Amino acid sequence: MKICDFTRSYIRWDNGPVRNDDRKPGHMPWGNRVRIKLDARCTLNDESTGKEETFVLIAACRSEWMYRDDTLFQDDSREFREVWTDTESISVGHGLAHSGWDETPTKLADRFIDSGVEVNFHDNARELEDNDDAVEASLGSLPIVARTEIKDEASGLRAVLEYPIHTMNFLTSKQRFQVDTGPLIFPDFSRKTGHWISLFAVAHTCYNTFDRAEFILRRPTPVIREGVTVCEAMNYSDIRRLPARNRLFEIGA
């Protein structure tokens, strides 16, 4: 089984010189090449047709002006974060307030001179079979990568979420563990869209068994003052508790 090495996996692009950006103060008109690390992956499979596609979540950065000497961060600076495939992308980054959903992906060939997803894999991953294994691995210093499989019975779509575990809770006295980690991408099957890439929400996950998981999705969340909604902010507020198959892999054992 190939387990993603998130420390050596990236998206890359080359967008060439900028000729038509009239924003102020604006980028230097030189173009730019980019390498951004992957935070998570998700593979969707339609069991009725056999269609399968893998999506990656890129690490977040802030909106910026490129290569200027006077100012770099844009004000108001938004989160820049996207979901990619080999051919298309969609934004899942936001400012503080909700400004609407991106429903339609953009073709990478329309944005960049060259682009691609570079995924490298570990060749020495050991699956942790039970609580004892999970606790023992947590006592050590080697990385742990997880795979969580969920299924939507209505659509017949199966999703395998893959992500590094940044936070692991554990008790040696009880031989218990609890994952609390993110970010990852969660396919929200309740959304009605013709594009698989449009299903995804940025999320975190929490679980302490191998057969279920909770996810908390970043969603527009009402900010209420004296009983009145004054705005909607982007916050982790939508909790889903689902049957799941959680698999943990210790790297380098």
**Domain shared by 156 and 179, yes or no:** yes
71 assigned to some structural domain = yes
- Decide if pLDDT at 234 tops 90: no
Q: What is the pTM of this model?
A: 0.93
95, 118, 141 — which closes off a domain? 118
pLDDT in tens, 61-115: 999 999 999 999 998 888 999 999 999 999 999 877 766 667 789 999 999 999 9
63 assigned to some structural domain = yes
Contact 91, 82 (CB under 8 A): yes
How large a percentage of the chain has pLDDT more than 90? 79
What are 235's two structure tokens?
Answer: 């916050």
78, 98, 118 — which closes off a domain? 118
**Domain shared by 129 and 33, yes or no:** no
**Domain shared by 226 and 162, yes or no:** yes
pLDDT in tens, 159-170: 999 999 999 999
One DSSP character per residue, 178-217 reads EEEEEEEEEE-TTS--S-GGGGEEEEEEEESSSSEEEEEE
Residue 93 lies in domain: 3-39+55-118
Buried b (16+ CB within 10 A) or exposed e, 54-88: bbbbbeeeeeebbeeeeeeeeeeeebbbbbbbeeb
Average pLDDT for the chain: 93
**Domain shared by 105 and 7, yes or no:** yes
| Rounded Cα–Cα distance for residues 5 and 41 (Å) | 11
Instruction: Report how many domains make up the chain.
Output: 2
| Rounded Cα–Cα distance for residues 73 and 213 (Å) | 37
Confidence of residue 148 (pLDDT cuts 50, 70, 90): very high
160 assigned to some structural domain = yes
| Rounded Cα–Cα distance for residues 101 and 54 (Å) | 21
Which 3 state secondary structure label does DSSP give 155? coil
DSSP 153: T
49 assigned to some structural domain = no
CA 236 to chain centroid: 14
| pLDDT for res 222 | 86
User: Which of these, 172, 151, 173, 145, lies nearest to 40 by C-alpha position?
Assistant: 145
Q: Could you count the other beta carbons within 10 Å of the beta carbon of residue 29?
A: 12
pLDDT in tens, 170-215: 999 999 999 999 999 999 998 888 899 999 999 999 999 999 999 9
**Domain shared by 240 and 129, yes or no:** yes
46 assigned to some structural domain = no
